[in-house]
Structure 1
Amino acid sequence: MLSPTREHLRDTFWFAPTAGLVGAIALWLAASAVDAEIVAYLREQGAYAEIEDLAGIADDAKVIVTTISSAMMTFIGVVFSISLVAVQMAAGQLTPRVVRLFVRGRISKLTLTVFLSTFLFSLLVLTSYESETDPRQVTSVPVVQSVVTLVLVGLSLLLFIAYVTTTLRLMQVGPVVDRIAREALRVAARQPAAGPEQVPLPPEVGRVVHRGRAGVLRDVDVARLVRVARRQGVVLRLIPRIGDHLVPGTPVLAVLSDAGVRDGRAPSPAVLRSAVSVGVDRTFHQDMGLGLRQLVDIALRALSPAVNDPTTAVQCLDRVVQFLAAVAPRPLGTVRHCDRRGVVRLVREVPDWDDLVDLAFAELRGCSAQSPQVTRRMLAGIDDLLLLAPAARREPLLRHRALLEQAVERAVALPADRGFALEADRQGIG
């Protein structure tokens, strides 16, 4: 399981550029030291002619560096203004949650980092130019710094091409739903398997309630909670599920113990609360249902009368079926985290199979009865899942299939149209 801190930093847009600016300062200091060493070595050798040649090269490079420093911020403003307009259009056409793909995108952060670092580095290089013209008095000639500036400019141009390409892909339905599906599949793959409840849990001896502002339970620091529970000899149970909205006073963690708390000391509520992250929006870190939620949101918007784009809904259904097929054989439900000795220390709930199937089909089924392209694709997807899912997990699929058939029969008047809408087709209407 990835560190929650690392995941939270991925959801920010300030950390990478800030780290890049610090790196630019460090790189300038290193390049300045190299330039000073070069001049000092030439002075020791009495090669004042070479120092004068280097100063001439540096003076020519100064014009380029000055141009770069004055143009870079304008370039940054224009590029990101256009990009934000493109993201806004994608958010309006698909879902506002698509902005998160832009924020988490590595190429977006890398591009902004390199752009700002180039600008700062060029300003620092300009401060290294000396007004002294006598080679015997020169202490440093920023030749290496100028070369590094040109390298950063070349890297900025390459990243600009990659960045524009990535941003334009955010305006296309296929790449967006593909990225959401890949994120959802990664979350499902990271989730520990929910094993059978072989050992009964001890009784509850206390609870920890949420303090602070209301928000969504984004994730929990599993490793810290397991350590605290092991140290105190108790079991912790996460009461809400990841993605639930919490208000102050809501119970978050239950403390379970057979013989009370070791040494009469309960786990510190402050320590336990610090391991629970509450924020404004849900994140992919530990939330298995978020990917399906976003895919369904895009499909619902596509099926709305204002948009009327069933092909987009079919593309979302492709990824919904892909996700359900991937998690169909996995144990779902209650997850038990153990310490190094194999003792259960943390228990939490993840969506079970019925929850995921309802999330995938309940709303879409109600909005797609009059769209034969979507009903045909949904029936084909359910039929495929019936072949892939274990026998014990077929009931919710059969239930949604029957409800979809009933909805089509009520919504479509002509028998021929009903028969057409109820034919399974993986392309909807191929």
Structure 2
Amino acid sequence: MHISGPRRPRALSPLREHLRDTFWFAPTAGLACAALLWWAASTLDLKLIAALQRAHAYAAVGELVSIAEDTKTIVTTISSAMMTFIGVVFSISLVAVQMASGQLTPRVVRIFIRSRISKITLTVFLATFLFSLLVLTSYESETDARQVTSVPVVQSLLTMVLVALSLILFIAYVSATLRLMQVGPVVDRITRETLRMLARQGTGGEVGEERASLPPEADRVAHAGRAGVLLDVHVARLVRVARRQGVVLRLIPRIGDFVLPGTPVLAVHGGAPPPRWALRYTVSVGVERTFHQDLGLGLRQLSDIALRALSPAVNDPTTAVQCLDRIVQILAAVVRRPLGTVVHRDRRGVVRLVQNVPGWTDLVDLGLTEVRAAAVHSPQVSRRILAGIDDLLLLAPEHRQVPLRRHRTLLLQAVERTVPAAADRRFASYPDRQGIG
């Protein structure tokens, strides 16, 4: 039985994810919104003063002019200090992120880039700076209540609101950055992104079974863009193109594979290939893997962190145990789910796109092979791997226990060869969910 994704793919989902992987879009949009907010506030100020002057409420206008003069000093101070504050805060933050990437893995920088609190904080800081500069242009030298045309009362109040919001976000941003320097929150973030991607994408059947049900392969479409890592595919657009052409498209490389220009990326089954223009912007290639559709990236990152922790230069087996906790959690989430392919259907339920994803054995090898090889000199890690495998054996159906038993046997054999003392071998071969509690 083949199970498609739990919901239809949204047409802009690749674009949304690509924008989340950038650090310029949110601040740029924030600056545009700040300019629009200033225009709206200045319009209100103009209408307010005009209404008071038409009502001959010159005393009220004079009071507003006096208030504006008092707030001008505050707005001037805000505009001059905000950019310096932004530079100092984010310089320190970049140093913290660099330290975290050196201790864990360079891939954690992407967590900082995708962090919503980081983007919101920078956006509000820059918006406050721009808004305060624009407010300064609204002040007039005229103090006569009959002659004044604009008093930035609403603009000054909004400036204070933005400053208060900036201070609140600064506290939240510092807290989030400090969490980024801790192992636990980082591996938890990687795990949550992996599980969200898995729930969003769904799974399918076995690769061989799915290919057997496809029409004969008629042609292949070569990659015409730059060389790079296959980030994702625009599922909704490919399904529409295949439906209009009356064919089934099969993605040849997996998400995360490195593709070269001229190598085939799509196989066409059951008819002529779609025109080249119809396939534009359906395959995204970049320089680094993303979580959008990449099932193995989370295990890859957790394995990298564990390997660095087990290196002689770091020698931090407890961090490796924390990573193993999450590796076991991810494997337990897919232990009973069909793997191998993802099938995408059109509105009539006809399969139009077949996408290969890692199988169960691939995921087990990805999560355990390298850590197992490095764990023979650390009884804490070997005990945690054995406990994790035993837990997965309780959850896995019989046909999926083979790779787990293989890794368990290989680990015990490696401990037998490496550890000279019999007592130490027995200790390192005893399963413990905390490693050494």
> SS in structure 2 opposite 1:146?
helix
| TM-fit CA distance, 1:7 | 0.3
Describe how 1:20-419 pairs up with structure 2 within 5 A.
20-195=30-205, 197=209, 200-257=213-270, 260-261=271-272, 266-419=273-426
Q: How many residues align?
A: 424
State the one-letter code of the partner of 1:218.
L
> SS in structure 2 opposite 1:345?
strand
Alignment pair present for 1:14 and 2:24: yes
Distance 1:361 1:147 in 2: 57
Distance 1:354 1:94 in 2: 26
| TM-fit CA distance, 1:195 | 3.6
> SS in structure 1 opposite 2:144?
coil
Check whether the contact 1:210–1:250 (CA below 8 A) recurs between aligned residues: yes
| TM-fit CA distance, 1:133 | 1.7
Distance 1:396 1:120 in 2: 58
State the one-letter code of the partner of 1:276.
V
The equivalent of 1:424 in structure 2 is: 431
Distance 1:401 1:88 in 2: 36
| TM-fit CA distance, 1:192 | 2.2
| TM-fit CA distance, 1:270 | 3.3
TM-score between the two structures when normalised by the length of structure 1: 0.97
| TM-fit CA distance, 1:207 | 1.1
State the one-letter code of the partner of 1:374.
V
| Cα deviation digits, residues 70-99 of structure 1 (max 9, x gap) | 000000000001000000000000000010
Q: Percent identity, aligned pairs only? A: 74
> SS in structure 1 opposite 2:354?
strand
Check whether the contact 1:204–1:256 (CA below 8 A) recurs between aligned residues: yes
> SS in structure 2 opposite 1:346?
strand
| TM-fit CA distance, 1:273 | 4.1
Distance 1:147 1:334 in 2: 56
Distance 1:120 1:296 in 2: 44
Distance 1:324 1:417 in 2: 29
Distance 1:394 1:184 in 2: 23
Distance 1:170 1:121 in 2: 30
Check whether the contact 1:210–1:273 (CA below 8 A) recurs between aligned residues: no
Check whether the contact 1:194–1:333 (CA below 8 A) recurs between aligned residues: yes
State the one-letter code of the partner of 1:322.
Q
Distance 2:334 2:280 in 1: 31
State the one-letter code of the partner of 1:223.
A
| Cα deviation digits, residues 309-366 of structure 1 (max 9, x gap) | 0000000000000110011111110221110111110011001100000001111111
Distance 1:208 1:161 in 2: 51
| Cα deviation digits, residues 94-136 of structure 1 (max 9, x gap) | 0000100100000000000000000000000000011222211
> SS in structure 1 opposite 2:140?
coil
The equivalent of 2:4 in structure 1 is: none
State the one-letter code of the partner of 1:69.
S
State the one-letter code of the partner of 2:234.
D
| Cα deviation digits, residues 162-181 of structure 1 (max 9, x gap) | 00010011111111111011
| TM-fit CA distance, 1:193 | 2.6
TM-score between the two structures when normalised by the length of structure 2: 0.96
The equivalent of 2:5 in structure 1 is: none
| TM-fit CA distance, 1:271 | 2.7
> SS in structure 2 opposite 1:274?
coil
State the one-letter code of the partner of 2:227.
A
Distance 2:137 2:325 in 1: 57
Ranges in structure 2 where 5+ consecutive residues have no aligned partner: 1-8
> Which shows bigger deviation, 413-422 or 199-208?
199-208
| Cα deviation digits, residues 373-422 of structure 1 (max 9, x gap) | 00000000000000011111100000000000011111101111000000
State the one-letter code of the partner of 1:406.
Q
Check whether the contact 1:4–1:221 (CA below 8 A) recurs between aligned residues: yes
Distance 1:403 1:372 in 2: 15
> SS in structure 2 opposite 1:130?
coil
> SS in structure 2 opposite 1:218?
strand
Ranges in structure 1 where 5+ consecutive residues have no aligned partner: none
Distance 1:252 1:415 in 2: 53
Alignment pair present for 1:5 and 2:15: yes
Distance 1:159 1:200 in 2: 54
Distance 1:242 1:296 in 2: 18
State the one-letter code of the partner of 2:161.
V
Superposition misfits of 4+ residues, deviation over 3 angstroms: 195-199
